[in-house]
Amino acid sequence: MTATMPRVLLATALTLSGWVKLAAAQSNPCGLLTSAESVKHIARGRPTYNQTPDAIQLKGGLLCEYPYGGQIGLWAPPNAEQNLEAFLKIWKADKAKRHPVSGVGDKAWIMFPVPEDEYKDRTAYLVATVGQQLVTVALFAHDGAADGPIGQHCRKEPPVPSEKEDCKKVLSDTSETQESLQPAVIELAMLVVAKVRSGKGS
């Protein structure tokens, strides 16, 4: 199962419940980042396989899902906070500890929800207030090959000569922690907030 599967399942469940509907891919917030910016800040050096972001419209907000590792959301007034909290409750992330972040928007906080099981994304999730809007930015921790079956094989015994180079690459591909994503999430959030302030997300 891929890391994106839980997000697909969540979107499907919300759609069937009437909470969301699919939106055109060119709708905001998918228009906030250029292709180069999304590759730099969301893919972060990993292949995108030419996948394109999908916009999902929610009650009071829009999400842009990047299948290669991130999400951006815009939540409109007058009930931005209530709608976001309702979404977090459905996601079962509303009880996660929130840590204040300075220098992003008018005020901001970040959280690292504990996944319910090994198939759920390990997320760094930042929420920033920009005027009367809320901006949400998420990055999903990468599961490295070094921590998977191939990595275990490479560590179990010295690789045969034909596997040596491949094992070297595998063992260098280590997993990220949610907390390690904080600088990257803050950097991305600052970029998104600046674009929202300029009116691009309106």
**Amino acid occupying residue 156:** K
**Residues contacting 78, CB < 8 A, separation 6+:** 132
Domain boundary assignment for the chain: 5-141+178-197, 142-175
User: Is residue 6 over pLDDT 60?
Assistant: no
Is domain 5-141+178-197 annotated with CATH 3.30.70? no
**pTM reported for the whole predicted model:** 0.79
What's the whole-number average pLDDT of the chain? 84
Q: Assign 3-class secondary structure to the chain.
A: CCCCHHHHHHHHHHHHCCCEEEECCCCCCCCCCCHHHHHHHHHCCCCCCCCCCEEEEECCEEEEEECCCEEEEEECCCCHHHHHHHHHHHHCCCCCCCEEECCCCCEEEEECCCCCCCCCCCEEEEEEEECCEEEEEEEECCCCHHHCHHHHHHHHCCCCHHHHHHHHHHHHCCCCCCHHHHHHHHHHHHHHHHHHHCCCCC
Tokens describing residue 119: 């198939």
Output the pLDDT for position 5.
Answer: 38
Tokens describing residue 192: 């998104």
User: Is residue 85 over pLDDT 80?
Assistant: yes
Q: Positive or negative, the Cα torsion across 51, 56, 62, 67?
A: negative
What mean pLDDT comes out for the span 16-44?
73
Could you report the per-residue pLDDT of 115-154, keeping only the tens digit for each? Answer: 888 778 899 999 999 999 999 999 999 877 676 787 778 8
CB atoms within 10 A of CB 59: 15
